[in-house]
Structure 1
Amino acid sequence: MGEQNKVFIGDTTLRDGEQTAGVVFNAREKIAIARHLDEMGVHELECGIPAMGEEERESIRALVDLGLSARLITWNRALVTDIEASIACGIEAVDISLSVSDIMIEHKINKSRDWVQEQLKRALGFAKGKGLYVCVGGEDASRADGDFLVELMRTARDHGADRFRFCDTLGILDPFAMHEKVARLNAAVPELEIEVHAHNDLGLATANALAGVRGGARYISTTVNGLGERAGNAALEEVVMALKVACGIDVGIDTRRFRAVSRLVGRASNREVPAWKAVVGEKVFSHESGLHADGVLKDPRNYELFPPEEVGLTRHIVAGKHSGTNGIVESYRQIGIPISRDEAQELMAQVRSTAQRIKGPLAAKDLLKLHQARTVSLAA
C-alpha cells in the first residue's frame, strides 16, 4: 500500500469511550489500555480532555511519560485556555472542536457562522504558533451546510491545520451519504487531510467509516468494542478487520491482540463484551449446524472469513439441536473422548433431544453423561 493511500487509525477509547454514560477509567486502567493499543500499532490515541481539571491532566501527563510510539492527541474546545491546558500536559497534538451545523450554532452555542470562523482562526493561530499538530474537529458536520464546511476547511487550511475531523455526531448518515459528503470535501480542499468520526446510533458506524475512506478520508476515529456515547462509535476491531478483509487495506495493526484489549476495556468499562460481538465475541467462531460444522472441519475457509487466531480467538464446534455426525465427533474430541462416525450417528438423536430440553448447546458434562449411558447400555 503506497504512502499516499495509507489509512491511519486513531483510537478515542480514553476520551470519547470514557464519555459513555456511567463509564470511568482510573489511571491504572488508562495506562494499561494505552499500552495495549500502542503495542498493537494503533497510530494515534486521543487520550483525554485537559480542561476537565487537574485529575484529568495528571492522567494525561502519565500517558505522555510512557513515551509511546503512538501520537497522543487531546480534545479541546476552540479556546486558547483549553489549548494551554493541553500544552501544560506535554501534549504536542490537539483536536480543537467547534459546532458547525446551523442547529448547534444557533441552539447550542447561540452564535453565528461568522463567530465560528473567527473562533477557529483565533484558536488555530494560537495552536500553530505553539508548534502543535492540529486537527480541527467539526462537531455535527454531517448536518452542516456543505458550502459552509468547505469555507471552514479552507480557513483551517490557510491557517495551518493538519487535518479536519468530519463528525457524524448523531450517527444519522448512511454509507452512501457519508461517501458523497467526504468525497465533496476532499475534492474541494484536497490539501487538508480528512478524518471520519462515526457514531453508531443506526448501527452504521463501521460501514460509514469505510465509506469515508472510499470518499478520500485518510484517518478513522475508533474505540475498542465500539464504546462511546449513546450507541457508541465505530469499533476499532471491526474497522481494522473490515478494511483488511473487505477492502484489502492492511493498516499494520497486530490484530492478534484484539481479544485481549477488548476484554481489558470491557472490564474497565463494566460493559461485558457480548459473546456474539462482531470480530471479538467469544462465540463468533462457534459452529453447530451440521452443514456448517462439517464444512468448517473440512476447510475453515468454507464458513470463516479469517482464522480465529488472527483476532486472538479459538474455534468451537458446538453440540446442539442442529448438530450433524462430524460435529458430534468433533465435540467429543474437544473433551478428550474419541468416537467414530457410527457412534456419533447413534448419539445424534439423544444430543438433539437434550438440546431441545435444555434449550441450548450441550456442555461437556452433558456429552459425558450421554456417552456413559451409551457405554452402560452396550455393556448390559
Structure 2
Amino acid sequence: MAEQQTQEVIITDTTLRDGEQTAGVVFSQQERRQIACMLDEIGVQELECGIPAMGRAEQDSIRALVDLGLNARLMTWNRALISDIQDSLHCGVTAVDISLSLSDIHIEHKLKKSRKWVKEQLRTALSFAKRHQLYVSVGGEDSSRADMDFIIELLQIAEQEGADRFRYCDTLGILNPMTMFSQVQQLAESTNLDLEVHTHNDLGMATANAVAGIMAGARFASTTVNGLGERAGNAALEEVVMALKHSCALDPGIDASRFTELSRYVGQASSRPVSPWKAVVGERVFSHESGLHTDGVLKNPENYEGFNPSEVGLQRYLVLGKHSGRHGLEQRLLQLNCAIDPHEVNSLLTKVRDFSQTNKRALSDQDLLNLCAIH
C-alpha cells in the first residue's frame, strides 16, 4: 500500500439525521443514544444528530445526546431561517448546518423564489448564527445541479459572514467521480472555506464520489452507517473509511475493528438487515469457494484479500460448493477433525460438487460430515 498521506480527513456522520430520513426508519431514543455512543467511541469526529425545527420530541432527543458529553461535535440541520437556528440553540448544540437550495430548478419550482432571495437568506441566517458563536456549515442542497458561478458567489458571501465550511451536496446522486473531482477542485481553488462532500447513492456511486471529493481537496466526508439515507441512501461510513485507507492512503483515524458490530446494530435498529455480501461489513464478503482462490488464500491471504477481515471485525470463510478445489476441502476436513484417506479426497470432492449443484447451495459442516459418513 502507498505511504500514508498527511491530508486531514474528517468524517461527519449523519446516520441520526439523513439516515433516519430513510423511508420507514425510526430510531428509538435508546437506539439514538447507543448509535451516537458507538460512533463517538470509534472516533467519528462529528455527528449530525437531528432537525430541531421538527418539534419538541426531536429537540428533547437532541438534548439527550448533548447531555452524553461526547467527544464528537454535535451538529443539527436547519433551514436558512432564524427560527430554525433558535431551536438549535435551545438544544444546546454548538454547530449547525444551514441549508439552502442552490439549483435554479429548486429555487424556482420548490422555493418559488429567486437567486437574490437565496443570497439574502444566507446573509441573514449566517450572521445570526455567528453572533451566537455557532460553528456553521453552509449546506448547498442540490449543488451538483447548480450554476458553478452562483455557488462561488455564495461561497464569497459565506466567507464574508464568517462561515466555517461549505457542504457540497450531490442531493440526487447524479454525479460521477470525475465530475465530482472537477467540481470540488474548482471550489477549493475559489475559497478559503473548508469543504465537505455529501453524496447520495442513486446511481451507486456515493462512496466513489465521496472519495473523489476528498481527493479533490474537500476536508470533510459526510457518511451514514450502512449507507442509510433518502431513496438509495448515502455514502456508507464503513466503505468511505476503508476506501480512503486502502485505496487512497488516507487514514481518517477511525477504529474500523468495530465496524461490523456497529453495522449490525444499526441494521437491526433500522429494520434494514445488512446483506451478507454488503461491501466491507457483510458477513460473507471474505468467503472463498473457487479452488484457485481458496488455494491462493491458504498460501497467503494477501493473494485475494485487500485487507485483513479482522480489521473490520470479520473473519474468513472457506466455502464448499460447486467450484471448490482439493485444498479447500482438505482445510475444511482438518477444521472438523475429520480424517479421510488422502487417496479418497478427489472422490469426496466430486460428491461435494454434485451435492452443491443438485441443491443449489454451499455445504454446511453437517452436510460434509454426512458425505464423509457414507463415502
With the shorter chain as reference, the TM-score category is: over 0.9
CA RMSD, aligned part only? 1.1
Equivalent of residue 36 in structure 1, options 35, 38, 46: 38
Aligned to 1:139: 141
Query: Match for 1:155: what amino acid?
Result: I
The CA distance in 2 between the partners of 1:135 and 1:342, in whole Å, is 68
Question: How does 1:12-91 map onto structure 2 within 5 Å?
Answer: 12-91=14-93
The CA distance in 2 between the partners of 1:343 and 1:259, in whole Å, is 39
- Equivalent residues of 2:82, 2:125 under 8 A apart: yes
The CA distance in 2 between the partners of 1:48 and 1:163, in whole Å, is 19
Equivalent of residue 185 in structure 1, options 169, 184, 187: 187
Can you list the C-alpha shifts for 1:275-320, whole angstroms capped at 9, x where unaligned? 1100000100000000000100110000000010000001000010
1:341–1:134 CA distance, 2 compared to 1 (3 A):
farther
Query: Which stretch of the first structure deviates more once superposed, 340-349 or 223-232?
Result: 340-349
Aligned to 2:12: 10
The CA distance in 1 between the partners of 2:180 and 2:57, in whole Å, is 37
Aligned to 1:229: 230
- Equivalent residues of 1:174, 1:204 under 8 A apart: yes
Shift of 1:364: 1.3
The CA distance in 2 between the partners of 1:369 and 1:322, in whole Å, is 20
Question: How does 1:135-214 map onto structure 2 within 5 Å?
Answer: 135-189=137-191, 191-214=192-215
Query: Match for 1:367: what amino acid?
Result: L
- Equivalent residues of 1:93, 1:132 under 8 A apart: yes
Aligned to 2:315: 314
Aligned to 2:282: 281
Using the size of structure 2 for normalisation, the TM-score is: 0.97
- Equivalent residues of 2:195, 2:218 under 8 A apart: yes
Shift of 1:225: 0.4
The CA distance in 2 between the partners of 1:16 and 1:306, in whole Å, is 29
Query: Match for 1:244: what amino acid?
Result: K
Question: How does 1:248-287 map onto structure 2 within 5 Å?
Answer: 248-287=249-288
SS where residue 93 of structure 2 aligns?
coil
Shift of 1:332: 2.4
SS where residue 189 of structure 2 aligns?
helix
- Equivalent residues of 1:333, 1:339 under 8 A apart: no
The CA distance in 1 between the partners of 2:48 and 2:269, in whole Å, is 17
Total equivalences in the alignment? 372
The CA distance in 1 between the partners of 2:342 and 2:164, in whole Å, is 63
- Equivalent residues of 1:325, 1:341 under 8 A apart: no
The CA distance in 1 between the partners of 2:27 and 2:219, in whole Å, is 29
Using the size of structure 1 for normalisation, the TM-score is: 0.96
- Equivalent residues of 2:5, 2:250 under 8 A apart: no
- Equivalent residues of 1:13, 1:227 under 8 A apart: yes
Shift of 1:344: 2.6
- Equivalent residues of 2:5, 2:249 under 8 A apart: no
Can you list the C-alpha shifts for 1:308-349, whole angstroms capped at 9, x where unaligned? 000000100001000001101122233343556544323100
1:55–1:185 CA distance, 2 compared to 1 (3 A):
same
- Equivalent residues of 2:46, 2:72 under 8 A apart: yes
The CA distance in 1 between the partners of 2:130 and 2:190, in whole Å, is 23
Shift of 1:121: 0.4
Aligned to 2:217: 216
The CA distance in 2 between the partners of 1:54 and 1:126, in whole Å, is 22
1:206–1:340 CA distance, 2 compared to 1 (3 A):
farther
Can you list the C-alpha shifts for 1:181-203, whole angstroms capped at 9, x where unaligned? 100011011x1010000000000
Query: Which stretch of the first structure deviates more once superposed, 333-342 or 48-57?
Result: 333-342
Aligned to 1:377: none
Gaps spanning 5+ residues in structure 2: where? none
Shift of 1:208: 0.4
Shift of 1:214: 1.4
- Equivalent residues of 1:49, 1:56 under 8 A apart: yes
Can you list the C-alpha shifts for 1:36-63, whole angstroms capped at 9, x where unaligned? 1100001100000011011111111111
The CA distance in 2 between the partners of 1:148 and 1:341, in whole Å, is 73
Aligned to 1:247: 248
The CA distance in 2 between the partners of 1:174 and 1:2, in whole Å, is 24
The CA distance in 1 between the partners of 2:336 and 2:223, in whole Å, is 38
The CA distance in 1 between the partners of 2:318 and 2:19, in whole Å, is 34
State percent identity of aligned pairs: 62
Gaps spanning 5+ residues in structure 1: where? 375-380
Shift of 1:2: 7.2
